[in-house]
Structure 1
Amino acid sequence: MRKSERHQIIKKIILDSTIQTQEELLTELKKQGVTATQATISRDIRDLKIVKKADKTGQVRFELFKETTPTEEQTDHNELFRQINEFVKKVDTAQFLTIVHTLPNNAQLLAASLDDYPLSGKVATIAGFDTILIITKSNEDAEAIANFFKTQLFL
């Protein structure tokens, strides 16, 4: 099976079912006659920009990351600011690194939004379960990004 065909099936599964883990996704794929390894599914999740997000009932599930168009990005960053206020618990710096602590299961979603936001000095973001690591060019850039977060928080 071609990668593009598998991606279409994965998208349909994610949209039609509540999938919480890669194992559940593999099971659903097998039901549809698709054989794939865990490593392949991990790459597909990354390629398709699938993130974990709480639905309206609070249940965490896989969802397709919804990207905005460039004009929306330039004119409206309200969603990023909402996510910062909703998810961020604490911000630290360590030399040229900014460490953002989030509520559980929200680091990847916020990091994806940050990747689209023009933060001066940002080199890369790395997200885990509840922590985002923002790598910057200098100690000053890390402090500036930490201050950006702090000015957005309504604490």
Structure 2
Amino acid sequence: MSSNLKNKIKLYFDQNWYDETIPDEVRERYDDEFESIIKEYKWNNVYPVLKDILINDCNDEASIVNWCHHFWDYALIYEYKVPNPEMLVAYLYSKVDIVNNSDAFDILDTIAISVLPINLMETPCYAANADPKIQHRIEDLKSGKIQF
């Protein structure tokens, strides 16, 4: 993994997503700049760095939720494919208490619906945290049986 790439990405992901002092035009510029990073380095090189930041640099629920918002803004909005999306979703749900944090629930649910191969026409009330396959992975992650 390139430390140069990680440092570039962290410039965006280390910002507080909730910082309302950042003007919309600056946020739009960040979106464009991050898209340029993906184009320059390619998604298959960027995603492992994003995953590394999530696992190694996000040490509490707030930082994980912040990562999720940036991940949505900078990556998923462009519909890049996530390798092993079930594991990403299970990892996020294993680390964040969605019962007591509605903002966390909203962004995790948005990510889950975006990356998982589900058909919302067939399952309009899909909830990843209630999906037995995801629940099983969450438990395996929490127990240390598997790693993300």
Q: TM-score, normalised by structure 2?
A: 0.35
Bigger radius of gyration: 1
Which of the pair is proportionally richer in helix? Answer: 2
Structure with greater strand percent: 1
